Amino acid sequence: METIATRFAPSPTGFLHIGGLRTALFAYLFARHSGGRFILRIEDTDRTRLVQGALQDIIDNLRWIGIDWDEGPDIGGGHAPYQQSERKEIYREHAMRLVRDDRAYRCFCSPERLAELRKNGNGTGYDGKCRNLTHEETEKRAKNGERFVIRLKTPLEGETSFDDMIRGKISTKNTIVDDTVLLKSDGFPTYHLANVVDDHLMEITHVIRGDEWISSTPRHIILYDAFGWKPPCFAHVPVILAQGGGKLSKRHGATMVREFRERGYLNTALLNFISLLGWSLDDKTTFFSMQELIENFDLSQVTPSSAVFSYEKLDWFNGMYIRKTTDDELYDLIIPHMTAAGLVRENTMPGYEDYIRSIVPLIRERLKTLSDAPGLTRFFFDDCFEIREEKALIPKKGNIDDALRILRETLDRLETADPFEEEEIEARLRKIVADLDMKAGTVFMVLRIAVTGSKVSPGLFETMRVLGKERVLSRLAAALDTVARMEKNN
């Protein structure tokens, strides 16, 4: 029984896209579920479009999500090298083999002639002009220094079919498939040649890739036949669409994995979310660890229909996974974001650590992403505290005098609170509500704005406890001065 082998073969012409990550995940899960091999291969033959740092970005983000590989550019393996730019001679040898076997030919047509063909409506882009040149003629022209590409001799009739593991049988008439360029004039292979040669030499049994490659698969099947090789099984996973339709793009939000990391999405949440873009176990199981995905993944449960990317659902997943963390874990996760926001300075961390740890439980339920932490905690730091809307200190169904009474009573009652703990704080504030004969919501909103600067914050009593007596009294006094000034200016 042959060993299952899959691969992920990204091009470092950009940073890892969420769609690429989903394709890599499905290929990885299929291999691991079958006890097979998973290979990372880098298709970097398009030298003009390479992006600096893209290769490392791909490696880092695959590992971050929990995907590892048995062979790859960073760890080597039995089928090295794993960057196509280092395999140039292998492709040239295979292309020339096809020329010798009369399954491919040298084409000397200029780019200008090809452009003219396309301009005049040639459906395939090439009319086969050089297809029937004699071997002697092409050898002579090549030796004279004429530039040429090598093209595959596509059958002129019949059709090419393959069984897609997700979509079933797909057939294409050979008349609509042109004579594919295999080797460019600069000696570098096209995607089609490099892809087929590498998949064969690396013993890939199952090619799992995005459905944008369906139209290229007939070319690959024909190429496998030309070499006399058995083609692998193919599975084309559905495209990921934005909500409302259309290709997922930057205008919808983050699309690169690095962006999701920077915005504070947990790898476990993103993993779980993308695993359900086109695949499901049943109609009730929602949460999966990597090990559970490996145990349950089956290509037969991948739908051919396009998957819709919902940022709202991802936020929900992320919030759920954040709430599964311990206080210590969440502390470690939010510190980089709070440091980047200037709330925490690394050289003052020892003094702040216990204080920040006391804040963590208050914001856990409100976090959608880790990057929300600075906004939710800013008011805890004196240098950042401000009441942006001073008029909000005046109750909606009240007046300046009500605000003054609330703030004066609270200052007076909390000054003697000892210990300054939640139960004691709550008892005194509820007594104020009763004594002032006001609604709790009215009183607590004024106090919330006074001590946090915002209408939205964690629980008032817990927040006051963490802020501490000195800070709370100072902010209440400042708020009282603000309202008194407002009264004077009226």
Tell me the two tokens of residue 110: 């200029």
Report yes or no: 432 and 410 within 8 Å, Cβ to Cβ: yes
**What does 244-285 look like in DSSP terms, one character per residue?**
TSSB--GGGS--BHHHHHHTT--HHHHHHHHHTSSB-SSSS-
Q: Mean pLDDT for each consecutive 10-residue tract of the chain (490 residues)?
A: 92 95 98 98 89 96 98 97 96 97 95 82 75 93 95 96 97 93 93 97 98 96 98 96 81 85 97 97 94 97 94 97 97 95 79 90 96 96 88 90 96 96 97 96 96 93 97 96 89
pLDDT of amino acid 312: 96
What is the spatial distance between Cα 30 and Cα 26, in angstroms, rounded to a whole number?
6
Which residues of the chain are in CATH 1.10.8 domains?
Answer: 327-383
Cite the residue boundaries of each domain of the chain with CATH code 3.40.50.620: 1-81+238-323, 87-237
* CB of 45 closer than 8 Å to CB of 194: yes
Fold of 87-237: Rossmann fold (3.40.50)
Q: Is 250 a catalytic residue?
A: yes
pLDDT of residue 346: 72
What's the pLDDT score for residue 262? 95
Helix (H) or strand (E) holding 240: strand 240-242
Q: Residues 156, 175: contact at Cβ < 8 Å?
A: yes
Residues 6+ apart with CB under 8 A from 112: none
Which residue type sits at 122?
Answer: N
In three-state secondary structure terms, 343 is coil
CATH fold, domain 390-489, is Arc Repressor Mutant, subunit A (1.10.10)
159, 217 Cβ separation under 8 angstroms: no
- CATH superfamily to which 1-81+238-323 belongs: HUPs (3.40.50.620)
pLDDT score for 335: 94
| pLDDT at res. 338 | 94
Which DSSP string corresponds to 405-466? HHHHHHHHHHTT-SS--HHHHHHHHHHHHHHHT--HHHHHHHHHHHHHSSS--S-HHHHHHH
How many alpha carbons lie under 13 Å from residue 299 in its C-beta half-sphere?
24
**CATH number for the 327-383 domain, one of 1.10.8, 1.10.540, 1.20.120, 1.25.40?**
1.10.8
Q: Which of 169, 250, 391, 397 is catalytic?
A: 250
Ranges for all domains in the chain classified under CATH 1.10.10.350: 390-489
Alpha-carbon distances of 426 from 430, 431, 437, rounded to whole Å? 6, 8, 16
